[in-house]
Amino acid sequence: MDTKSKTLDRGCIMVFARDPVPGRAKTRLIPALGESGAAKLHEKLINHTLTTVTSCNPVPAYLYCTDTESSPFFQSCAENYDVLLKQQEGTDLGMRMFNAFENALSTNCWALLIGTDCPSIVRADLMNAVEHLEAGIDAVIGPAVDGGYYLIGLRKNDDSLFNDMPWGTDQVFALTEKRMKTLNWTIKSLPLYRDIDRPEDLESLPGKYA
């Protein structure tokens, strides 16, 4: 038995999200959808992600907000999905992710972190990741078509996974996996999915998001 399980909670799922404010949400999609359309799509993707995450009950879920916990939208998410709101902390994405894992792993045996850009992710993917982590795998990662990743799950934290990372490029998944191997961690990958970040990604968007 993992000795950590004697003193720590089982695990948790963390969702990173931006407030779907027109002009600030999904900015790379604004040329194709307009400010309002991009924000509405972002809101739908957040709702899909939270629906999927909360279907994994009783695993606790946390919604990490980038802008403010006082956002009316995030407050409604907390009520509608029974998730706890937390503020992302850090000056860049890598620091915010590291800090979230640092906080989660102080009280949990494992933690999953996902974004809200992937409409393809389903409950089975999350439960597959949970099973790997509960079996003792050090890290689980879900690769994205653009070279990034849509999910990362850890049993331990290391700042090398988040520091000096070229976020937003096609090198993120490969470099993260390389650094995990350097740490001699055991790793499992999930299916390859497409994030919806750019106008060309809209061709792969399911009809229900139209």
Examine residue 3 and state whether it is found in any structural domain, yes or no.
no
Distance, in Å, from the CA atom of 8 to the CA atom of 155, rounded to the nearest integer, reads 12
Rg over alpha carbons for the chain, rounded to the nearest Å, is 16
Examine residue 2 and state whether it is found in any structural domain, yes or no.
no
Structure tokens at 195: 């994030």
Examine residue 193 and state whether it is found in any structural domain, yes or no.
yes
Examine residue 209 and state whether it is found in any structural domain, yes or no.
no
Query: Residue 81 sits in a domain of what CATH number?
Result: 3.90.550.10
- The pTM assigned to this predicted structure is 0.92
The answer to whether residues 118 and 193 touch, using CB atoms and an 8 Å cutoff, is: yes
Quote the pLDDT of residue 69: 64
Quote the pLDDT of residue 3: 43
Question: What's the number of domains the chain is made of?
Answer: 1
Structural domain harbouring 82? 9-200
- DSSP H or E run through 155: none
Residue (of 159, 123, 127, 153) closest to 140 by Cα position: 153
Interval 117-147: pLDDT, tens: 999 999 999 999 999 999 999 999 999 999 9
The answer to whether residues 109 and 2 touch, using CB atoms and an 8 Å cutoff, is: yes
Examine residue 207 and state whether it is found in any structural domain, yes or no.
no
Examine residue 13 and state whether it is found in any structural domain, yes or no.
yes
Q: Which amino acid is at 108?
A: N
Examine residue 205 and state whether it is found in any structural domain, yes or no.
no
- Cα dist from 47 to 38, 113, 146, 185, whole Å: 14, 16, 22, 33
Quote the pLDDT of residue 142: 98
Counting as low any pLDDT under 50, the low residues of the chain are 1-6
Examine residue 101 and state whether it is found in any structural domain, yes or no.
yes
Structure tokens at 76: 């409604």
Question: What 3-state class would DSSP assign to 173?
Answer: helix
